[in-house]
Amino acid sequence: DTGVSQNPRHKITKRGQNVTFRCDPISEHNRLYWYRQTLGQGPEFLTYFQNEAQLEKSRLLSDRFSAERPKGSFSTLEIQRTEQGDSAMYLCASSRREGTGELFFGEGSRLTVL
């Protein structure tokens, strides 16, 4: 399978705990995006990388959230001191830099904060 891979697919945690999600993009894609989707809503942009550089962060990304892409391949999204409002589906997508390419999405990591 050469699609975008995310894990874990589901994570249940208690409020205050830290969680980390991993995304492996399509190998030839140098852009990687994180989105958040809550129930009944469209995906909301969080951040994106071009290779290892984080080029843009949304205001939605509070200081409890941090994303990395250390070698320009996989990426991690960490949420510290989770709150119930963090419960959502976290979607990762990748694309080529060139042209007008669409984003290719993974199946998402669903977070439930109790």
Enumerate residues 6+ apart whose C-beta is below 8 A from 113: 13, 14, 15, 82, 83, 84, 85, 86, 87
Q: How far is CA 66 from CA 30, 82, 92, in A?
A: 19, 12, 14
- Among the candidate windows 14-22, 45-53, 64-72, 73-81, which touches other proteins by CB under 8 A? 45-53
- Among the candidate windows 13-21, 48-56, 60-68, 70-78, which touches other proteins by CB under 8 A? 48-56
Under the criterion CB under 8 A, does residue 74 sit at the interface with other proteins? no
* Closest CB to other proteins among residues 91, 113: 91
Enumerate residues 6+ apart whose C-beta is below 8 A from 60: 36, 44, 45, 46
CB atoms within 10 A of CB 63: 6
Under the criterion CB under 8 A, does residue 45 sit at the interface with other proteins? yes
Closest distance between other proteins and the C-beta of residue 4, in Å? 7
Number of residues that bind other proteins (CB under 8 A): 26
Residues at the site binding other proteins, with contacts judged by CB under 8 A: 4, 31, 33, 35, 40-45, 48, 50, 55-56, 91, 93, 95, 100-108
